Chain A
Amino acid sequence: MFKNKFLPISKIIYNTIKQNTTKEEKILEVGCSSAHISLVLKQKGFNIKGIEIRKEIVDKTNKFLNKKNIQFEIITGNVLNHNEKYDMLWSSGLIQCLNNNQKDFFFEHFIKLANKAIFFVPKRINYLPPTKEDYDIAVTGCEEFPTGDIPFILSKYYNKVKYKIIPKNKIKMDIDFIVYICKN
Chain B
Amino acid sequence: MKNVYIEKAENWLYECAYDGLAHSFDTTTQKWVKPYPEVTGYLLEYMCINNYNEKKLKKIASTLLKYQDKNGGFPSFFDKHILFAFDTSQILIGFCEYYKKTNDFKYYNAAIKAGNFLISCQLDNGAFTPIYNKKTKEFIIDKNTYKIWNGPFSGLMCKLTEGYKALYEITKDEKYKEKIKKTISFYKNQPDIDYTHPMGYFLEGLYAGGEKDLVKDKIEKLVLPQIQDNGYIPYSKNLPYAYVSGTIQLGIMCYKTGFFEEAERILNYARLVQSKHQSGGLFQYATKDGDLDNHVHTEINSWGTKYYCQLERCFENV
Measured CB to CB, the residues of A under 8 A from B are 146, 148-149, 151-152, 154-155, 159-165, 181
Contact = CB atoms under 8 A, between A and B. Distances in A.
7 contacts: A146-B124, A152-B153, A155-B152, A161-B140, A162-B139, A163-B129, A181-B138
Given A151-B129, A152-B125, A162-B138, 7 more contacts: A146-B124, A148-B123, A149-B123, A151-B139, A151-B141, A152-B123, A163-B138
A159 B143 contact: yes
B105 to A, nearest CB: 28
A155 B141 contact: yes
A15 to B, nearest CB: 14
Nearest to A164: B138
Nearest to A165: B137
A148 B127 CA distance: 10
A151 B152 CA distance: 12
A154 B139 CA distance: 13
Contacts, number: 46
Contacts of A181: 138
A26 B209 CA distance: 48
Contacts of A149: 123-125
Nearest to A181: B138
A149 B122 CA distance: 9
B40 to A, nearest CB: 28
B191 to A, nearest CB: 15
A160 B141 contact: yes
Contact of B143 (A146, A160, A165): A160
B139 A164 contact: yes
A162 B136 CA distance: 10
Nearest to B131: A162
